[in-house]
Amino acid sequence: MPKQNRTFEVYMVYVDEERCDGCEECRHYCPCDVFDIFHKAVAARPRSCLGCRTCEAVCKSKAVIITEI
Ligand code: SF4
Ligand code: SF4
């Protein structure tokens, strides 16, 4: 569907496993319960993402990247 015809945004939630140390800050602060932690963060429910970018802000390892698609 062309982006300009959507009434909602879709976001890609990417976790760089090399950078992630599993600190759980993203899971703790995400308002939409996007992340699970299995030693590293996993974007288990990316469709729930609202694009607030809180996870990017709290990740001291810069392991999370949110991209609007
Ligand atoms: S906040 Fe960053 S380092 Fe911590 S678990 Fe999430 S992605 Fe990994
Ligand atoms: S951008 Fe916001 S809603 Fe999306 S995964 Fe990060 S903290 Fe959760």
Per-residue pLDDT of 38-48, as tens digits, reads: 999 999 999 99
Q: Ligand 1 center to residue 13 CA distance, Å?
A: 12
Residue 34 sits at the vertex; the CA angle it makes with 29 and 38, to the nearest 5 degrees, is 90
**pLDDT digits over 13-36, tens only?**
999 999 999 999 999 999 999 999
- pTM confidence score: 0.92
**Residues 6+ away with beta carbon under 8 Å from 28:** 58
**Domain extent at residue 15:** 3-68
Determine what percent of the chain is predicted with pLDDT higher than 70. 96
Q: Within 13 A of 3's CA, how many CA atoms are on the CB side? A: 5
- Mutate which of 9, 10, 11 to test ligand 2's pocket (most atoms within 8 Å of Cβ)? 11
Using CB atoms within 10 Å of the CB of residue 44, give its burial: 0 to 12 exposed, 13 to 18 middle, 19+ buried.
middle
Q: Within 13 A of 34's CA, how many CA atoms are on the CB side? A: 26
Say if ligand 1 is within 6 A of residue 66 CB. Answer: no
Atom of ligand 1 nearest to the CA of 37: 5
Count of structural domains, the chain: 1
CATH number at residue 50: 3.30.70.20
Q: Ligand 2 center to residue 34 CA distance, Å?
A: 7
Decide if pLDDT at 37 tops 80: yes
